[in-house]
Amino acid sequence: MIRIITAAAAVLLLGIGAAAAQSTPAAKAPMKDAQGKALGTITLQQHPHGVVIRGELDNVAPGWHAIHIHAVGKCEPDFAAAGGHFNPGNAKHGMGAAEMHAGDLPNFYVDERGHARFEMMTHRVSLTDGPTNVFDADGASFIVHAGTDDYATDPAGNSGNRIACGVIAK
């Protein structure tokens, strides 16, 4: 009898947790390289104090890489169609700046097998109405760069070529 009650309580709690997760805005970006090969997915989840970004990528060159949210939700073969960084506040680039691009994010590490798993949080973008909403008229995308972001050089941190792109979608 105790086992049945415990199992019922667990099912109830899982149901409540699933309902809560469904009520908060979420999005994802399937990431591809310039040849169109799938590399993994980046997900976004809106929370009261910001957006949690989680990524899992494979077949990326080992080492540190820059990642940014770009202003346009398009991924053409050379990824130039994604435009510059998402920057509704018209700020300068850089993590140390008092005002910085909303799309500026920390570098992430890819292991020797070409695998990366990362999680970060930002309060500079939103999945809900307002000026920092990534679902504006032309959308937004994630871009992974060949090198690291130096967090200083405007406009893109001297981070090298665009090697992967994913359009952010609900």
**Residue at 99: amino acid letter:** E
pLDDT band at 47 (very low <50, low <70, confident <90, very high): very high
Question: Peptide bond before 30: cis, by omega within 30 degrees of 0?
Answer: no
Give the separation between CA 119 and CA 106, rounded to whole angstroms: 10
- Please write the tens of the pLDDT for every residue from 71-121: 999 998 789 999 988 888 777 777 765 677 778 899 999 999 999 999 999
Domains of the chain: 25-167 (2.60.40.200)
> What backbone torsions phi and psi does residue 33 show, to the nearest 5 degrees?
-85, 180
Write down the pLDDT at residue 7: 44
- Please write the tens of the pLDDT for every residue from 48-58: 989 999 999 99
Write down the pLDDT at residue 73: 96
The pLDDT mean for the chain works out to 85
